[in-house]
């Protein structure tokens, strides 16, 4: 999940494929624990990501918002 929300990551192409499959329903219903969001937060802060940027990135994981995936 973190590779998906980061601007650049060597795993981003793989993360994009997985997220596309989730959006298309290929894995059925997918859940993420709130702990995964906590981990995203802590890693983001350690990497110097601002809170606003973190919220912007994390928002794409909202079930009501489909992210644009290249």
pTM for this one? Answer: 0.63
How does pLDDT run across 9-50, given as a tens digit for each residue? Answer: 899 899 899 988 988 889 988 888 888 888 888 888 888 888
| pLDDT surpassing 80 at residue 60 | no
SS3 state at 34: helix
Q: Nearest CA to 3 among 35, 51, 39, 28?
A: 39
């Amino acid at each position: 999940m973190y590779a998906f929300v980061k601007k650049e990551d060597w795993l981003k192409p793989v993360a994009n494929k997985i997220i596309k499959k989730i959006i298309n329903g290929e894995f059925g219903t997918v859940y993420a624990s709130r702990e995964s969001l906590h981990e995203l937060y802590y890693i983001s802060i350690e990497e110097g990501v601002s809170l606003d940027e973190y919220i912007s990135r994390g928002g794409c994981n909202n079930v009501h918002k489909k992210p644009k995936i290249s």
